[in-house]
Amino acid sequence: MSIHFIGDTAVLTGRSLRHISRSLDTIVTTAVMPIGFLLLFVFVFGSAIDTGSASGSYVDYLLPGILLITIATGISYTAYRLFQDLQGGIFERFSSMPIARSSVLWAHVLTSLVANLISVAVVVLVALLIGFRSGAGVLAWLAVVGILLLFTLALTWIAVIAGLSAKSVDGASSFSYPLIFLPFISSAFVPTAGMPGPVRVFAENQPVTSIVNAIRSLLAQQPVGADIWVALAWCVGILVVAYVFAMIAYRKRIA
Amino acid sequence: MTAAAAPALRVRGLKKSFKDLQVLRGVDFEVARGGIFALLGSNGAGKTTVVRILSTLLAADAGTAEVTGIDVRTRAAEARAAISLTGQFAAVDEILTGRENLLLVAKLRHVDDPGAIADGLLDRFSLSAAAGRRVATYSGGMRRRLDIAMSLIGEPSVVFLDEPTTGLDPESRLEVWSSIRALAAQGTTVLLTTQYLEEAEQLADRIAILHEGRIIVDGTLAELKRLLPPAKVEYIEKQPTLEDVFFAIVGTRHDAAATNEGDAREGGRR
């Protein structure tokens, strides 16, 4: 790895952050659908949902899942931006320059972390406006941000695979649809206890449930229990597998 | 052989297949330093494949390729420092301005004073007036000029231009030609691929024809012309070409230096 890796990554990250600052609509559209779900569930369906929790309003229960949906939506723009670079030939220009090659991908990944953090902040702000409250301390909030960043990092590498191997713009961004809907079959909207057999088994053993439960406990100042370890294991596992496949996809594009 | 004495490019027995399709079947050529070398061939002849191998983007199945004596496979990082690639599609960032594009490449090439280099190139390629505009608003010719300007940063020994004028209107093509001549004039070796015979004739000091995966001829224009039977003297009436008509109607032929940047023609191929 070149000694220039950090400097080159910083320059390239600056470039893609400038893309974002010049098309703020990508941040807005990332946040619009999750905010829509938030409003819909809090004000329309929420009154019919019994979360079984004695304390806290439904928006407190719902927010963690909405944040994961926000991230799943946001990473499709990473795939899109990467695909555009490949199409436009600028990716080849960078790859034929004397720079650290991995910094080209890392710049997109770091940009994804920043963009998603902003989108998540926008959604949290809306949640605060409609009554979300948490007494969590600084450490608990830092833990929540940490989990969300790790989740973003893991999903972003999936987005990198999609961006590198897609044949069309639609292909580059539509891979995220299943990820966006995964929270619906989890503990994000309703407790898993009321779900029928096989659905419940799926819901209780897929990554979203443990991540949602861990974040929810942190925000509600409850003990996180085993959920946080399961959540971290899922995130790290997805990250490693996605990274390996992203590197394979990268070598296929560039010798 | 020392790097200083090595030719700009040396390609030996280069082979490359994509699945069952044999694109290169043993390509050999050598390019001395300085001047413009044109690789001529029809679509699908393998020109881009040669350029991609030389610019370290693609691994050959067999054979060797050296840039200024540096093997592109075994010493890829050093080879990248010696070359610059201008691909088939203008590899510019549309969301950034022209100046920001140049700054980006200057920073990645770790040159001293990126700002001064960017301004110098903007001036040289007649892009100063459009420097602060996003590239998305540029015409096809302006994009190509910016693209070529970006390739000059860091003073690479060899510049690859892969079909630099494909898809450009006649006026933009002339602008790009003058940019390429300016590039060669400062001592850079240019490898140009093209499917336009006229372009090779206009620009190249040496021409190689790539056909069905092999170089079938390689020499100066005069040498290539000698391959044909001696010229017959015939008297024909000189009709204006369509190009003469085009320029007579739309205005004078002007080279890049005189082009009015303010007039953003409908541009771009993408």
Q: At what angle do helices B242-250 and B170-185 cross, to 10 degrees?
A: 100
CA dihedral A215→A216→A218→A222, nearest 10 degrees, is -150
B258 or B110, which is more confident: B110
CA atoms of A24 and A12, how far apart (whole Å): 19
The full length of chain B comes to 270
Mean pLDDT of B148-159: 89
Nearest Cβ partner for A15 among B56, B96, B110: B96
Phi and psi based region of residue B260 (left: phi greater than 0; alpha: psi -120 to 50; beta: remaining): beta
Cβ separation B85–A96 shorter than 8 A: yes
According to DSSP H, which parts of chain B are helical? 47-54, 76-82, 98-108, 114-124, 140-152, 170-185, 197-203, 221-226, 242-250
Q: How many CB atoms lie within 10 A of CB A244?
A: 12
Cβ separation B91–A255 shorter than 8 A: no
Q: In the predicted model, is pLDDT for residue B242 greater than 50?
A: yes
Looking at residue A3, its pLDDT comes to 63
Cβ separation B57–A2 shorter than 8 A: no
CA atoms of B143 and B135, how far apart (whole Å): 7
CA dihedral B36→B40→B46→B52, nearest 10 degrees, is 20
Nearest Cβ partner for A90 among B52, B56, B93: B93
Q: How many angstroms from the chain centroid is the CA of residue B134?
A: 24
Chain A: nearest CA to B230, how far in angstroms? Answer: 44
Asked if B233 is an interface residue toward chain A (Cβ–Cβ < 8 A), one would say no
Cβ separation B108–A96 shorter than 8 A: no
Looking at residue A105, its pLDDT comes to 92
Q: What is the DSSP string of A180-209?
A: HHGGGGTTTTS-GGGS-HHHHHHHHTSHHH
SS3 label, residue A8: helix
Q: How many CB atoms lie within 10 A of CB B115?
A: 11
Paired sense of beta strands B62-67 and B9-18, if any: antiparallel
Q: Are A176 and A75 in contact (CB under 8 A)?
A: yes
Structure tokens at A206: 């897929």
Cβ separation A92–B57 shorter than 8 A: yes
- Stated pTM of the model: 0.83
Looking at residue B164, its pLDDT comes to 86
Considering chain B, what percentage of its residues have pLDDT values greater than 70? Answer: 91
Q: In the predicted model, is pLDDT for residue B111 greater than 80?
A: yes
CA dihedral B163→B166→B172→B174, nearest 10 degrees, is 60
Size of interface A-B (CB pairs under 8 A): 71
Phi and psi based region of residue B13 (left: phi greater than 0; alpha: psi -120 to 50; beta: remaining): left
| pLDDT tens track, chain A, 255 positions | 456 888 899 999 999 999 888 888 878 888 888 899 889 888 888 777 777 665 568 888 889 999 999 999 999 989 999 998 888 888 889 989 988 888 899 999 999 999 999 999 999 999 999 888 888 888 999 999 999 999 999 999 999 999 998 888 888 888 888 888 888 888 888 888 888 888 888 888 889 999 999 999 898 888 888 888 998 999 999 999 999 999 999 888 876
Paired sense of beta strands B62-67 and B70-71, if any: antiparallel
Q: What is the pLDDT of residues B46-79, one digit of tens each?
A: 888 999 999 999 999 999 999 999 999 899 888 9
B149-169 in b/e burial notation, b at 16+ Cβ within 10 A? bbbbbbebbbbbbbbbbbebb
- Which is nearest to A32 in space by CA: A112, A119, A97? A119
Asked if B87 is an interface residue toward chain A (Cβ–Cβ < 8 A), one would say yes
Out of 3.40.190.10, 3.40.1010.10, 3.40.50.720, 3.40.50.300, which CATH number does the structure's domain B9-258 have?
3.40.50.300
Best mutation site among B58, B85, B95 for testing chain A: the one with the most A CBs within 10 Å?
B95
- Banded model confidence at residue B165, pLDDT cuts 50, 70, 90: confident
Q: Are A16 and A104 in contact (CB under 8 A)?
A: no
Looking at residue B258, its pLDDT comes to 41
Q: In the predicted model, is pLDDT for residue B19 greater than 80?
A: yes
Chain B: nearest CA to A236, how far in angstroms? Answer: 31
Per-chain mean pLDDT for chain B: 84
Q: Are A76 and A96 in contact (CB under 8 A)?
A: no
A21-37 in b/e burial notation, b at 16+ Cβ within 10 A? eeeeebbeebbbebbeb
What element of type H or E holds B167?
A: none
Where are the domains positioned within chain B?
Answer: 9-258
A93: chain B residues, CB-CB within 8 Å: 85-87, 91, 105, 150
Cβ separation A18–B100 shorter than 8 A: yes
Cβ separation B87–A93 shorter than 8 A: yes
Q: Are A2 and A41 in contact (CB under 8 A)?
A: no
Cβ separation B92–A19 shorter than 8 A: no
CA dihedral B55→B58→B64→B66, nearest 10 degrees, is 10
Q: In the predicted model, is pLDDT for residue B160 greater than 90?
A: yes
Q: In the predicted model, is pLDDT for residue B255 greater than 60?
A: no
- Which is nearest to B206 in space by CA: B184, B178, B182? B184
A4: chain B residues, CB-CB within 8 Å: 110
Considering chain B, what percentage of its residues have pLDDT values greater than 90? Answer: 32
- Banded model confidence at residue B269, pLDDT cuts 50, 70, 90: very low
Best mutation site among B93, B97, B100, B160 for testing chain A: the one with the most A CBs within 10 Å?
B93
CA atoms of A3 and A18, how far apart (whole Å): 25
B269 or A138, which is more confident: A138
The residues with which B84 forms a beta bridge, in sequence order, are B159
Structure tokens at B244: 């003469």
Paired sense of beta strands B70-71 and B214-219, if any: unpaired
| Residue B198 identity | E
Q: What are phi and psi of A236, to 5 degrees?
A: -65, -40
Structure tokens at B270: 């993408």
